[in-house]
Amino acid sequence: MRRSDTDAVESTFDAPTHTKTARRRFLRLLGAGSAISVAGCSSITGKASKAQVNYRNRPKGDQRCSNCRFYDPPENGDGAGTCSRVEGEIAPDAWCNVYSKG
Ligand code: SF4
């Protein structure tokens, strides 16, 4: 290896301290984000399980899946729909603690 090649390789690994700190902080945040997503969502669907969001088959006052922003009603307008946040079939009169008025 020529001297200039060696210098180039060494300079690659000789990053400024603030770059190393930023890289370390980024990797730490990445690790924390992964842990949160594993704990809060199904690894297959990316949605939370019903148990994780305290899903129940009855509304909470005026709050119900059918008026939640995450609810997707069934095509035929009859029966259970789906939810973009919670996995499985979702009853229109159900509720969970991710509810958000739609
Ligand atoms: S987020 Fe919860 S309340 Fe809203 S539609 Fe999904 S299951 Fe129902």
93 domain-assigned: yes
Domain that holds residue 86: 47-102
pLDDT above 50 (res 78): yes
Check residue 53 and give its pLDDT. Answer: 98
The pLDDT tens digits for 48-70 are: 999 999 999 999 999 999 999 99
Q: Are residues 20 and 59 in the same domain?
A: no
- Residue 65 Cα to ligand 1 middle (Å): 5
Let me know: does 49 contact 87? Beta carbons within 8 Å. Answer: yes
pLDDT of residue 40: 58
Distance from Cα 83 to the centre of ligand 1, integer Å: 6
pTM of the model: 0.62
Q: What is the mean pLDDT of residues 31-41?
A: 48
Same domain? For 22 and 59 the reply is no
Q: What is the mean pLDDT of the chain?
A: 76
83 lines ligand 1 (CB under 6 A): yes
**Do 66 and 24 share a domain, yes or no?**
no
Phi and psi angles of residue 67, each rounded to the nearest 5 degrees, phi first: -115, 20
